[in-house]
Structure 1
Amino acid sequence: MFTYINIILLNPADPAWHRTIDQLWQQLGAPHNPDLLPPHFVKSTFPRMGGIVATIDANQRLVGVGLLFPRAIAADGTRSYTLRLHEFDQQLDDDLLRTAFHPVPVVIYRPRDGQTFAPPAPRPTGVWIGPPQADDLPAIAALYRAVWNSQPYPTDLFSAEFGPGTALVATVDGQLAGFLLGFFRFGGAPYPSDELAIESQVMAVDPVYRGHGLATRLKRAQARAALARGVRCIQWTVDPLQLPNALLNFNRLHAVAGAFVRGYYPVQNALNLVTASRFLITWLPASAHGRRGLVDGGERLALADLPGVAVLNDGPQPLPAPDDPPAIAIAIPPDWTALQHRDLALATAWRDATDALFAAWVGWEAGKYVIYAVARDTAGNHYLIGRPAGPWVWEE
């Protein structure tokens, strides 16, 4: 038993950040250790939501790695964390860990601690949304592999002991058809960092059951649960060129995109053959705008109905734009995934052109635009629509 341990909090701004995470994950048994979270999440989203990676040393050697997940914010502003712990040779003493992390309050959690889920019970016929049961976990992992063809997020993250921000499944006639997992985060634009929010991290719907509106139902259930516990902001990331996601996020849920990051994820897979750029989506279901997403009635906008809108591109070709237009329209391809597989050079041109437009035009600050809808022109082309940033986003 160790009598002293040393904690080092890693800095994601370090130029060696990505390499350090890869090295730690290899030491922890990646890619064959099912308890590990995907490294692209740890490198990208985890620090942005207020998470911290810590190494734990004893006797001048590495004895553990911890992920500090945001958990709560006390009335005095103190932040507490769930310490998801990966140990090497032996279990570390909990009191020793709490002392080493002091004054940061931590709830110590090991992946094997995740044992409590919803009690076993039959689900009703038709579509049902609710918390997962232990028997759902293999189907959740299988669905993730089927959708992303990669190692799934550890299913213990759905447990009561871990305490996720969101843990939901969708069933159709008793069969698992989708799931949604989210974490707590510290802050979420346009709200300050001293307010607890939710990072809606991963959602999947079985292709067999698409057309039932399961993604919309899962997101709405997440929002209602968040509002019930006083959480006003839900964030997630999305590829801005994926039309189905844009229609869901903007036209049905009435979320917005006020931030953009080129090359957000250091990953390449069947859905990301080119640079994995992302919008940072914000849904404020307590706001007048965001509240419209809690009920049916998604908008079907026509480009011709937007007076003064400035169309900023023709496919991958940028177009000249006037100063300070009342609205902007950025064309996106009809099937981004298929385009990447059919014509990689053209897909790269689309990505580079739209990345430049998003970087120049999208933002929360004065003079920038917030994406809030998808519109079509008479030829059937789709455009992301933005209006000047301002209080219309968050006014309740």
Structure 2
Amino acid sequence: MTGPTGSDEHAEAAARAAEVRIAELSELPAFEEVFRLFDDIWHPDPGNPPVTVEMMRAFSHAGNYVAGAYRGDRLVGASVGFLAAPVGRVLHSHVTGAATGRGIGFALKLHQRAWALERGLERITWTYDPLVRRNAHFNLVKLGALPEEYLPSFYGPMADAINTGDESDRMLAVWRLSQPRVLAAVQGEPHRPPTPPQAVTALAERDGRPLTGPTDARTLLVAVPADIETLRRADPGAARAWRHALRDVLGALMREGARVTGFTGQGHYIVER
């Protein structure tokens, strides 16, 4: 079956490249596998898992998105999402986790895109930590999504091995499924807009810590650290300084109406006022 704009073909090609088979899930044993996989990835507090078996069961039964990526018989990735407002136009991708490397996450997102397009949906949204450089690169460059809202302390305190000790600021990524940059990205052409030569650095890194600059230029560059997750463990004070600096600079710019238009290879958000 061929989905809109060749979405099925793109999803199948990504799955082949990652050497996985992706399928929707509907049975309790599969949901239990997903629960264990997510537990291995995030090591959450037992009382606060990313999603429960019961919730996956309810989502799937109600027609929402629950899918797993398999290499042979082994589950190596999964994604859970639900239909969101406005009705009939949006899927919100609540949680996606995968083994590192080999394109499993990309394959899952393209399967999710094909699923959404086949149901007439226009976009997929999700949240991510704006300080995690590899996630910003994946979302903005690899997929062609763009952030449209900065959400301070979105989840409140989070008790897991990755986020403990940090505030849960998030960026709302919006994947507009049929825009030209997305169509190019799903065909293997990453979204890498050129950095305007007149861009001014509003947030830079100096000796591992954030350094703020002017924010009144038309085009701004906002840096994130190379590896915030390691920094949280090695220097919690520096990690907190980055969190507050990014919130004060990027969060304020977006509240004022500035738009993030890309992400550079050097780890800067490109922001247009």
TM-score above 0.5: yes
Match of 1:342 in 2: 234
Q: Give how far 1:299 is off.
A: 4.1
Q: Which has the higher contact order (CA 8 A, sep 6+)?
A: 2
Equivalent AA in structure 2 for residue 126 of structure 1? E
Q: 1:341 to 1:309 in 2, by over 3 A?
A: same
Match of 2:190 in 1: 298
Match of 2:158 in 1: 268
Match of 2:39 in 1: 145
Equivalent AA in structure 1 for residue 92 of structure 2? E
Provide Cα deviations, 1:299-343, integer angstroms capped at 9, x if missing partner: 4567xx4222221112212101344x1x32110000011101111
Equivalent AA in structure 2 for residue 306 of structure 1? P
Question: Equivalent residues in 2 for 1:141-180 (5 A)?
Answer: 141-150=35-44, 151=46, 152=49, 153-159=51-57, 162-180=61-79
Match of 1:374 in 2: 263
Q: 1:373·1:385 contact (CA, 8 Å) conserved in 2?
A: yes
Distance 2:272 2:68 in 1: 34
Aligned identity (percent) is 22
RMSD: 2.3
Q: 1:331 to 1:164 in 2, by over 3 A?
A: farther
Structure 1: gaps (5+ residues): 1-123, 188-193, 389-396
Distance 1:222 1:161 in 2: 14
Q: 1:173 to 1:195 in 2, by over 3 A?
A: closer
Larger helix share, 1 or 2:
2
Structure 2: gaps (5+ residues): 1-15
Provide Cα deviations, 1:43-78, integer angstroms capped at 9, x if missing partner: xxxxxxxxxxxxxxxxxxxxxxxxxxxxxxxxxxxx
Q: 1:183 to 1:161 in 2, by over 3 A?
A: closer
Distance 2:90 2:203 in 1: 34
Range that drifts further, 338-347 or 157-166: 157-166
Match of 2:211 in 1: 317
Equivalent AA in structure 1 for residue 267 of structure 2? H
Q: 1:332 to 1:161 in 2, by over 3 A?
A: closer
Q: 1:161 to 1:176 in 2, by over 3 A?
A: closer
Equivalent AA in structure 2 for residue 371 of structure 1? V
Of 113, 116, 122, the match for 1:232: 122
Match of 1:205 in 2: 98
Q: Secondary structure at the match of 2:263?
A: strand
Question: Equivalent residues in 2 for 1:1-396 (5 A)?
Answer: 126-132=19-25, 134=27, 135-150=29-44, 151=46, 152=49, 153-159=51-57, 162-187=61-86, 195-206=88-99, 210-269=100-159, 270-272=161-163, 273-299=165-191, 305-315=195-205, 316-323=210-217, 325=218, 327-363=219-255, 368-376=257-265, 381-388=266-273
Q: 1:285·1:293 contact (CA, 8 Å) conserved in 2?
A: no
Tell which structure's C-alpha radius of gyration is larger.
1
Larger strand share, 1 or 2:
1
Distance 1:382 1:138 in 2: 37
